[in-house]
Chains A and B, each alone.
Chain A
Amino acid sequence: MTQQEILALIARHAGEVIPRLEQHAFQSTDSLRALGANSIDRSEIVMMTLEVLELDIPLAETIKAENIGELAALLAGKLALARA
């Protein structure tokens, strides 16, 4: 899965966890926190994404991502490592 596809996946899950974001036009610079997702919402969005990617990494490792673009890049990197 490409970084772009992962970004779309994160956006889809954000819409599922926070229904009012379903119609939001997500940009890679969007911060989930700024969009009103609390820490539990955010963890859930990450978990759902990891599940689809079949990626088993500690959730704590995703803390560094400041926005969904960085999160997608981080997960794409982890995915490449896991598949290598």
Chain B
Amino acid sequence: MRTVGIEAMNVFAGTARVDVEKLAVHRNLDMTRFANLLMREKTVALPYEDPITFGVNAAKPLIDALTPEEKDRIEVVITCTESAFDFGKSMSTYFHNLLGLNRNCRLFELKNACYSGIAGLQTAINFVLSGVSPGAKVLLIATDISRFMVEEGGEGLTEDWSFFEPSSGAGAVAALISEQPHVFRVDVGASGYYGYEVMDTCRPAPDKEAGDADLSLLSYLDCCEKAFLEYQKRVEGADLHATFGYLAMHTPFGGMVKGAHRNIMRKVAKARPNEIEADFERRVQPSLHYGQRVGNIMGASTLMAIASAIDHGDFTIAQRIGCFSYGSGCCSEFFSGVAGEEGQARLRALRIKDQLDRRHELTMAEYDELLVTNNTVKFGTRNVVMDGDFIAPARTAQGSPTLFLKEIKEFHREYEWVS
């Protein structure tokens, strides 16, 4: 069996953030309930940031680290997203151009709500495993943004929907998938998938998010159990307790992962409450650090949880990570892979934490102004020139060249590097 997995990966979560506790106070949210979200900060997409800027800024360091020969072996670019700005043209075409990739390359985009990143990962893995182009690499970019504009008055709206605002984030994870899985070697065939039709959360209209947060939580919990049971069926001797050093799960907000972990540990592993709490701290918390600071980045969320687990866990001895992805609608998957000291060192060299630290912290006034300003780049915008003076400190906050949207000309998006 060939080895396959993540050769390199990086997270880019924008140039601006808000402190979600300040936001909760600002919105008069119930603070006891807010604490259960286990959220600290979230990335806010600025008007001149879009899924392309997040994706390119995440992928650029990975591409720059390749030799020209290696770069030419990128034969597929898969964009995983629910935030595309065009129904036909794939965002992979922009990534391909902005990153200067070889034209003998497949370019396409993939959607299945928050499951898209893992659907893309598995598609990439299968391309590599097929052996049709030995040595080829896939560039996977999972990128999503949420512009906080909730569809009002929908019957399915619940009061918990108000907690969507503090947890909805923006960002991207870029990964190179190849036969050299330096960062995360996927356990080939070790996958339990589970999906069915359910109307939980969705984006039924451009720039609108809607749904039933309660139903989504219950569906997530159901899928987590069913997908793991299917994994267990396919992987002889798999044990929730003993097989995985860490668990990395799709993170709408930390509290939901905590609930899912508690549920599955009680139901499948028959663990006691105090044991579950300790297990959460030891095996799950490392995967949550980035999610707690970025918010839910949908299709990229599970990949970011894997990156967080590798960056924050102890990999002196290689560890197997059990991963769970859930996308509303719905489809889910429990799968696994192994990371070691080398992978951790490679990932840490990209300094994801520093990137998060450097984001400009928005004041509540700036944030509120942004919710209005966001309207200038609505879905379907034909022509617009972005205002580079708007929240200007964010544009140089990274201290390194950062890609931003410059203008939209006859629907075509044009970008600029700012340093």
The interface of chain A, by Cβ under 8 A from chain B, is: 33, 38-40, 42-44, 46-47, 51, 58-60, 62-63
Contact check, A43 vs B221: say whether CB atoms are below 8 A apart.
Answer: yes
18 contacts between A and B (CB under 8 A): A33-B159, A38-B33, A38-B36, A39-B158, A39-B160, A39-B214, A40-B255, A40-B256, A40-B258, A42-B214, A43-B217, A47-B266, A51-B267, A58-B222, A59-B221, A62-B218, A63-B214, A63-B218
A59-B259 contact, Cβ under 8 Å, with A47-B266, A51-B266: no
Q: Is the CB of B218 within 8 A of A60?
A: yes
**Do the beta carbons of A63 and B259 come within 8 Å of each other?**
no
Give the contact-size bracket for chain B. Answer: 20 to 34
With a cutoff of 8 Å between Cβ atoms, the chain A residues found around residue B212 in the complex are 63
List the 4 shortest-distance A-B pairs measured between CB atoms, nearest first: A59-B218, A40-B259, A60-B218, A58-B222
Does B213 lie at the interface of the complex (its beta carbon under 8 Å from any beta carbon of A)? yes
Report chain A residues within 8 Å CB of B222.
58-60
Q: How far is the CB of A58 from chain B (nearest CB, A)?
A: 5
A43: which of B33, B159, B198, B218 is its contact (CB, 8 Å)? B218
In the assembled complex, which residues on chain A have CB atoms less than 8 Å from the CB atom of B221?
43, 47, 59
Residues of A contacting B213 with CB < 8 Å?
Answer: 39
Interface residues of B in 166-218 (CB under 8 A from A): 198, 212-215, 217-218
Q: Are A43 and B215 in contact (CB under 8 A)?
A: no
Q: Is the CB of A47 within 8 A of B263?
A: yes
Within 8 A of A (CB), among B200-258: 212-215, 217-219, 221-222, 255-256, 258
Minimum CB–CB distance from A74 to chain B (whole Å) comes to 13
Chain B min CB distance to A45 (Å): 12
Q: Apart from A39-B214, A43-B221, A59-B221, what are 20 other A-B pairs with CB-CB below 8 Å?
A: A33-B158, A38-B160, A39-B158, A39-B160, A39-B213, A39-B217, A40-B36, A40-B217, A40-B255, A40-B259, A42-B214, A44-B259, A44-B262, A47-B266, A59-B219, A60-B198, A60-B215, A63-B214, A63-B215, A63-B218
B218 CB contacts on chain A under 8 angstroms: 43, 46, 58-60, 62-63
Evaluate whether A47 and B256 lie within 8 angstroms (CB atoms) in the complex, with A33-B159, A58-B222, A60-B222 already known.
no
- How far apart are B288's CB and chain A's nearest CB, in angstroms? 15
In the complex, what residues of B have CB within 8 A of residue A59's CB?
A: 218-219, 221-222
Q: CA of A11 to CA of B153 in the docked complex: distance in angstroms? A: 31
Nearest Cβ distance between residue B113 and chain A, in whole angstroms? Answer: 15
Q: State in angstroms the CA–CA spacing of A59 and B215 once bound together.
A: 9
Residue in A42, A43, A60 whose beta carbon sits within 8 Å of that of B263 in the complex: A43
- What's the Cα separation between A7 and B259 when bound, in Å? 23
**Docked complex Cα distance between A38 and B158 (Å):** 11
Q: How far is the CA of A44 from the CA of B266 in the complex (A)?
A: 11
Residues of A within 8 A of B217 (CB): 39-40, 43
Q: In the assembled complex, how far is the CB of residue A75 from the closest CB belonging to chain B, in whole angstroms?
A: 14
